């Protein structure tokens, strides 16, 4: 059995761009794009669900299967950014004001699922995207469950439950490959998964305070979670290998440090991540003239 819902947000929404941050690489087994349909396998508070989304003009059609189907459909407006308030963003900064005259203010959607965002964010810590996507995809394919309903026919799989994560042996993490520093952080989070999920309704700074008490989880990781699970327009991924440099090139024609980016963005609280998203939308990434991170070759395959 399935349940259906159609939402007309009442504001311009691009489904593909809104959902893009939730896809962990082109091979993500929890997310597939088939024609005009976006398919997600999610573990909701009410149980597993397969969610299909399609945009038709100003409407978004959805259908869901599994124990968590109703929860997934009820959460659809938040996923599409209904809880965000981009109209509250105003600035006297001449550069950003010019962009706002030409482009729409970015809107942030929220999943409400903290562990769903936290586990892949931990796996993405301090490694290349290729290595991170490979490790996360292997984890889901090896230890995740088949998604309910037609999600199974499309090869969708759910992220492993916290209970399953706690049972993954150290040697299997290495084969994924995920090194001990990151696998231990995932394990620590899985041990307190219930408390982690309860942070979904808290202010962003309180979420950061609580999650950074978990060993191996820092500011960058929590910002990635706040952006996706909370739809937090102030959560900037400081410590990222690219963001400060990209922002500097876009705004000042030179690479910035994290400290320079922090200083510039301070005037935009509580919309700092919104400014970053706006600049990226317009300018894209910086010229790749500098050194790049190299994948590490010492882990078993």
Separation between Cα atoms, residue 244 and residue 275, nearest integer Å = 12
CA nearest to 140, candidates 121, 157, 153: 157
pLDDT band at residue 283 using 50, 70 and 90 as cut-offs: confident
Handedness of CA 54, 55, 56, 61 (dihedral sign): positive
In this prediction the pTM is: 0.92
Claim to verify: residue 239 and residue 104 sit in the same structural domain:
yes
Claim to verify: residue 167 and residue 297 sit in the same structural domain:
yes
Claim to verify: residue 60 and residue 127 sit in the same structural domain:
no
The pLDDT value recorded for residue 96 is: 95
Tell me which of 53, 69, 85 is where a domain ends: 85
The pLDDT value recorded for residue 299 is: 40
Claim to verify: residue 35 and residue 113 sit in the same structural domain:
no
CA nearest to 54, candidates 70, 40, 67, 71: 40
Sequence-ordered alpha helix ranges (H) in 176-257? 180-191, 193-197, 204-211, 219-225, 243-252
The pLDDT of residue 199 is above 70:
yes
Claim to verify: residue 213 and residue 277 sit in the same structural domain:
yes
Claim to verify: residue 135 and residue 251 sit in the same structural domain:
yes
For the residues 179-206, what does the mean pLDDT come to?
Answer: 97
């Amino acid at each position: 059995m399935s349940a259906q819902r159609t939402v007309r947000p009442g504001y311009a929404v691009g489904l593909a761009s809104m959902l893009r941050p939730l896809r962990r690489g082109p091979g993500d087994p929890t997310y597939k794009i088939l024609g005009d349909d976006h398919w997600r396998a999610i573990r909701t508070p009410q149980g597993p669900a397969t969610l299909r989304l399609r945009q038709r003009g100003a409407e978004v059609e959805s259908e869901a299967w599994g124990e968590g189907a109703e929860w997934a459909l009820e959460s659809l407006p938040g996923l599409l950014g209904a809880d965000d308030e981009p109209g509250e963003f105003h600035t006297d900064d001449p550069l950003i004001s010019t962009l706002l005259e030409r482009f729409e203010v970015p809107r942030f959607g929220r999943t409400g699922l903290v562990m769903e965002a936290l586990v892949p964010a931990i796996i993405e810590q301090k490694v290349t995207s290729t290595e991170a996507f490979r490790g996360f995809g292997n984890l889901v394919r090896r230890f995740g469950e088949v998604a309910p309903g037609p999600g199974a026919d499309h090869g969708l799989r759910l992220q492993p439950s916290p209970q399953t994560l706690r049972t993954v042996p150290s040697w299997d993490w290495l084969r994924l490959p995920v090194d001990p520093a990151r696998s231990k952080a995932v394990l620590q989070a899985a041990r307190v998964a219930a408390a982690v999920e309860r942070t979904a309704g808290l202010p962003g700074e309180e979420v950061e305070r609580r999650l950074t008490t978990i060993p191996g989880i820092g500011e960058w990781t929590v910002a990635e979670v706040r952006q996706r699970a909370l739809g937090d327009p102030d959560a900037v991924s400081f410590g990222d290998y690219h963001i400060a440099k990209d922002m500097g090139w876009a705004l000042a024609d030179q690479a910035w440090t994290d400290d320079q980016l922090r200083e510039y963005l301070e005037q935009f609280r509580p919309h700092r991540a919104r400014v970053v998203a706006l600049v990226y939308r317009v300018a894209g990434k910086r010229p790749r003239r500098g050194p790049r991170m190299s994948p590490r070759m010492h882990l078993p395959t």
